[in-house]
Structures are given as C-alpha cells and as structure tokens.
Structure 1
Amino acid sequence: MKKIYLLFLSSLLSLAAFAGNPDRQGEAGAAQLLMNPWAPSAGLHSLGTSYVTGVEAMRINPAGVSRFAGTQVMLGYANYLQGTDISMQAIGVTSRVGENGGFGFSVMSLDFGDIPITTTEQPEGTGALMNLSFINVGLTYSHQFENKVSVGLTLRGVSESTSDVNSFGFAIDAGVQYVTGAAEEFKFGLSLRNVGSRMAYGGQGLATAADNPDQSADYKLTYAQRAAGFEMPSMLNIGASYDFLTQVENQRVTLVGNFTANSFSRDQVGAGLEYAFREQFLARVGYRVDLSAANESTSTSADQSPIYDGISAGASIRVPFARGDVSRRFTVDYAYRSTRIYQGTHNVGLSLSF
C-alpha cells in the first residue's frame, strides 16, 4: 500500500508538469496516438482508465492487460470524422502468462483515402496518388500482484511516412490499476501515455534545388532542408469506477469518471455509465468536456473548442461458446462519438476471447 500511495502522490505532483496549456495547442505531433480504434472503450470516450482490460488496455492503461483471464484477439475499424475519408484499422492480441503476467501486441494504421499529388507545374494533379503510411506498433507487459494491484508498460514504435519523407520515434505508456471492495466493485487507475523521443521528418522529399552561387556554373545545387522536431502528445489519466447492482442477479451498472491532463491542449474531465445484462449485452454512454479558463473570450473558446462535442455511446453483444461461460465468447461492438464538425466518428469491432 505504501507503494500505491507513493505512486498516487507522484501522479498528483506531476499534474503541474502536465497541466493543460492551450498556448501549446498544435505543437505536438503523432496525433494518431490520441485516436482510439477500439469500439468498447470508444463508446465511453476512452474514460475507462480504472477498469479497462485486455486488448483495449494497451491503448488506455497497460496495467489492465494482465486482468484479462485468458487470450483475446480483437479487430477494430473506425470511420474517423465521417466525411473526411479517414479510417483507422487495428488488430491486437493479449494473453495471460502464468498466474499473474500478461503480454500484448497491437498494430494500428491510418488510411487517408485518395490524395492526388499536385505540383507547382501541375496544380490540377499529376495523375498519381500520395502514398501515406501512418502506423504504430505496441508491445505490452503487465503484472498483477496478489494485493489486487496491477502494473503495466507499453513500448510503442511510431512511424509516419510518404514515398520520400519519413519520421520515426518511440513512446512509452505506463499504468497502474487498484481493485478493492467485497465484490471488487471499486477500481482506481492511473496511466501516463505517449512519453517518448522527439520526432522529425527527413528524406529526399525535403531536398530543394537552388541556383548555384558560382555564377560561372551552369547547373543548380540540391540543398537538404532540416525539418523542425516535434514532441509526442503526452498525457496523464486518473480514473475511478464503481460497480452498482453487484448483488442483483445477472445485472451490473458501472459508474466511470476520468480526468486527463494534456501537455499540449486543455485538460479534460468526463463521466460515463455502462450497463450489462448477464455480461452478454452491454450498453454504454459517456460525456467528456474540456476544462476552459473562465476568462477566455467566446471567440477564443470557439477557435480552440474540441473536435469531440461531448457525447458518446456504444453497445456490445457477447455470444458465449458454452452456456453460462461468458469468459469464452465472440463479441460484436459498436460505438459513436459526436463531433463538432463533420458527422461524428463510428467504431465497429470484433473480438474472440478464450
């Protein structure tokens, strides 16, 4: 318990370093690390820091990987900001190792649709399409202690590239979850995400041809431009949840709360509810807002208002392989998140647990 108290105190002290700062908004890169391709947690606006388990935990809180009893394989697809032709695809696998350990592996990629290549000589397009590749790969290890505490660590490689420009970096996610209560109804979680190396673009695409300073030379010189580096969008999450109706047969209602301290944007706070019937049908709804300064002008607030406009909702249907055994199941998930612009983000997912 002393270690838990020390970790909790350290997280509170680190809030000053991770306090939301609208003045730095837009300075971070690798925004793909802020996107959630998994439908169950997306239906709660990724507020499940305290109780998320399995594959989804690799994105939100790696401590939850070891809390999933067995093996889980999950596929995720998201139509990001419907109308932009941007989509997310992801696959993840987690497995319990021994009595207390758990490993996980995940891959996520972005598809930006068809983007024509244009040049100053051909502003209407060259006829070719831009080849964009945004991929991040995560490897997670989690361990659960006998005193109901679990910890986890994710090492993530982040790659963003075109045919002639690329950037690569490493990020680390770390988290802890604590469960208590007679029926383990109260859960608390902390996660520190996207802490890693600075990234910078490089490659032949940044080279430019300029006139030769030697006036007698009749050829141009090629100069390599050095791009400015950028940081990853690090954040600190603190969450708690409580299960109601645990004494009522076949039903559960979970109240979820979460606070997010962003390094490069405003802090966020959110809450949600998840209802489960026989752990086979689940419905969830969440709401998240940005914490704004009271003295900000209306125009400034509008310019920096979040993409996600508060509400989210989702549902899951779990089909057990054996009657009364929900641990071995096939699951279909869906989630919707309202957005300030475009027509929202839709997530769908399939998972197999055994």
Structure 2
Amino acid sequence: MKKLFLSFMFFAVPLFAQNGTSAAEHLLLPVSASLYGMANADIAANEGINSFFYNPAGVHGDFATITGMFSYMRLIADMGLSYTSVAANFGNYGSMVFSVKSLEVGDIPETTIDMPYGTGNFFSPSLVVNSLGYSNTIGNNLSLGGSVNLIYEKIKAAEATGVSFDIGFLYKNVGSVPGLSVAGVVKNFGPAMQFDGSDLLITARDTVGTRGPRIVKISTNEDELPLITELGVTYKTVQFENYGVRVSGLYSGSSYTESEIRLGTEFSYNNQFFLRAGYAFLNSGSDEDRNIYGPAFGAGVHLNYLFDMKVDYAYRSARYFSSQSIITVQLGF
C-alpha cells in the first residue's frame, strides 16, 4: 500500500509544472448528485457507475450487470449540464463504462466589429466530452481504473478537439479496518487544445499603403487542460440497527487554480434513504472570501424491487450567482 501511494505521488506531483490559462474547463463539472451533496469529497467510494467521473477505479465491484445513469445539473446564467453513461460488469474481467457529457450554454447574441451591439442573429456553442473507461480489482482490496476522454468544442465555424486521460486507484479495508478506504486520481492529463476554423479568417485592409484587402487568419493560443490530482479517504461504518454513516475527506490540487480540502458526510437508513452534506475549503494561505460556494446538501432514495433504482438530488448555494442543483437517476439490471 505504501509503495502504491509513493508511486502515485511520484507520477502526479511533477505534472503541476504546467500552468496558465485552462482549456475545456467543462471537464471539471461534476455529474453525480450523491457525491455533489457531499461537496464532491468522496473519490474513495466503490459505487460503480456513479464513481466513473470522480475515480474510474471505483467502477468495478459487486454491481448489476448493466447499469445506466442520467443526470442534469442547473448551472449559473441558465446554463445546464447533461450527462449520460452506461456501464457493463464482466465479473472477473472487469467493468467498462461509456459516457457523454454536454454543456448547454444556450443562445448567444452575435456581434461583429462593424455591429458591436448585435447583428440580430444568435449562435449556440457545442461543448461535449465522450469518455470510455475500464476498471478491475487486483486481489481482494486494490482496484485500478482509467479512462480516455475525447473533447470537442465548437463556436460557430471555429472548433477545437482534444484528448485527456484519467487514471486512479482505490484501496479498501486499509490496515484491515472494514470500511476504511483510500484513493488517488490524476484527471485531465493530455495535450493542449487550440481553436481553428474558417471563422478565424478575416479581411485585412491596408489603411496606409496601396495594397488591397487580403485574407488573414487570427492566431489563437494553445491552452493547457485543467490538470487535477486528488487524494481522498473514506470511512463507512457497518450498518447498526439499520443506520449507517459515511465520512469522507479529500485534497484536490490543480494546475490552474487554488487547491481545495473537501469534507463530506452521509447518513443512511436501511441502505434505502440517504441524507448528505459537505463543504469545500480553499487550502491554507488562500483568501476564503474567494470561495464563492457555500455548503452542499443532498438526499437520495434507493429502491430494489424488479430492478435496482437510485434517485438523488443535491443543492449548493453560491455567492453572486444563482445556486446550483443536480438530479441523478440510476438504473441497474
């Protein structure tokens, strides 16, 4: 276990040498109401398809053969995030997941240099991430997982494509303590992205000499992806008189913004009804006034009759902007 942890840190820490403006920040938007209600503090949970975005190592386990998940998150400025995923459990051969995440920005008024107040037309950007991942258990307690993410962004006739990778581990029953798990994940590791397309072509006019107008291309920056390394620990108590408690903590380090420490907890009854709460703190040395988000709260219900069904909802307040909420529906067969 110690060797695994040191190897993970040796790989992850040097990655923070990359700094600068971030591309494809929609990669960071969370997709699970159950974990959002805990302030996204739990990457050490072994929750099947629900863990895929946070730590692909947590996907494989004793779950349904086929699982589907859908979530919708209401963001600031009337934007929305849709997420759909499907997981297949192949037993000893591991589990595979495919997901599609789409950020809905809405219609934006078109402006030009000649018409800065609007042309009367509108456009809607496309921001999509398709992911494919695999997870399996090695021995009794260790799980490894990874995913490849295909990123596509389009604004009118300008577009950018990219690829990123996530890799993580999950170790359960640490020190032979039932319910105690640790995990680590590196997310969004990949090459920089750059916009290109016909909308970057403009007509330049020589206002001094006698040369006529000519077509030139605007050069755009190459921006790094929002690389993140996270280390987390979770303790889940054994059910006592139908009641259970889960407590999670996480450190999140980023190549483009302040690091965070997140804490979350979950109370359950009969493994059917859940209440959750969590909060994300900026790391020491940062001005906490810069943290625009308040505490997160959530609730969920788990029904298992003809098929396995989970419905979760979470809410988090925000200063200066409207609050954010997310609902998730998960079905297992």
Contact residue 277 and residue 296 of structure 2 kept, 8 A: yes
Q: Structure 1 residue 11 and structure 2 residue 8: aligned?
A: yes
Identity %: 26
Q: Structure 2 counterpart of 1:353, which letter?
A: G
Identify the range of structure 1 (247-256 vs 189-198) with the bigger mean alpha-carbon deviation. 247-256
When normalised by structure 2's length, the TM-score is 0.92
Residue 153 of structure 1, aligned match among 134, 137, 146: 146
Q: Is the 8 A contact 1:335 1:346 kept in 2?
A: yes
Report if the CA contact (8 A) 2:194-2:221 is conserved: yes
Deviation at 1:152, TM superposition (A): 0.2
Q: Following superposition, which runs of at least 4 residues in structure 1 exceed 6 angstroms of deviation?
A: none
Deviation at 1:56, TM superposition (A): 2.6
Residue 12 of structure 1: SS of its match in structure 2? helix
Structure 1 residue identity aligned to 2:321: Y
**Residue 303 of structure 2 corresponds to residue 319 of structure 1:** yes
Q: Which residue of 2 aligns with 1:234?
A: 227
Residue by residue, what CA displacement relative to the aligned partner does 1:267-309 show, whole Å, maximum 9, x if unpaired? 111111111111111111111111142xx7x6xx65xx13423
1:171-214 CA-to-partner distances (Å, cap 9, x unmatched) read: 00000001116683111111110101110111111112112599
Checking the alignment, whether the CA contact within 8 Å between 1:20 and 1:261 is kept in structure 2 is no
Partner SS state of residue 197, structure 1: coil
Structure 1 letter corresponding to 2:44: S
TM-score normalised per structure 1: 0.87
Unaligned runs of 5+ in 1: 323-327
Instruction: Give the whole-Å Cα distance in 1 for the aligned partners of 2:173 and 2:49.
Output: 23
Q: Give yes or no for contact 2:274–2:301 (8 Å, CA) kept in 1.
A: yes
User: Does the 8 A contact of 1:316 with 1:331 survive in 2?
Assistant: yes
Q: CA deviation at 1:321?
A: 1.4
Question: 2-side partners of 1:315 and 1:103: how far apart?
Answer: 28
SS of 1:198's equivalent in the other structure is coil
Q: Secondary structure at the match of 2:225?
A: coil
Q: Which runs of 5+ in 2 are unaligned?
A: none
1:200 equivalent in structure 2 = 194
CA distance in structure 2 between the partners assigned to 1:135 and 1:44 by the alignment: 26
Equivalent residue letter for 1:192: V
**In structure 2, do the counterparts of structure 1 residues 170 and 5 end up closer, same or farther at CA, with 3 Å as the change threshold?**
same
Distance 1:307 1:158, change over 3 A: farther
Partner residue of 2:116 out of 113, 116, 123: 123
- Distance between the aligned counterparts of 2:10 and 2:291, measured in 1? 26
- Structure 1 position 75 matched with structure 2 position 70: yes
1:249 corresponds, among 241, 245, 257, to: 241
Contact 1:17 1:263 in 2 (8 A): no
Query: How many residue pairs were aligned?
Result: 331
Aligned to 2:269: 277
Q: Quick one: structure 1 residues 175 and 68, their matched pair in 2 at CA, closer, same or farther if it must change by over 3 Å? A: farther
Q: Distance in 2 between matches of 1:307 and 1:230?
A: 25
Q: Distance in 1 between matches of 2:46 and 2:34?
A: 10
For residues 209 and 273 of structure 1, what CA distance do their matches in structure 2 show?
A: 58
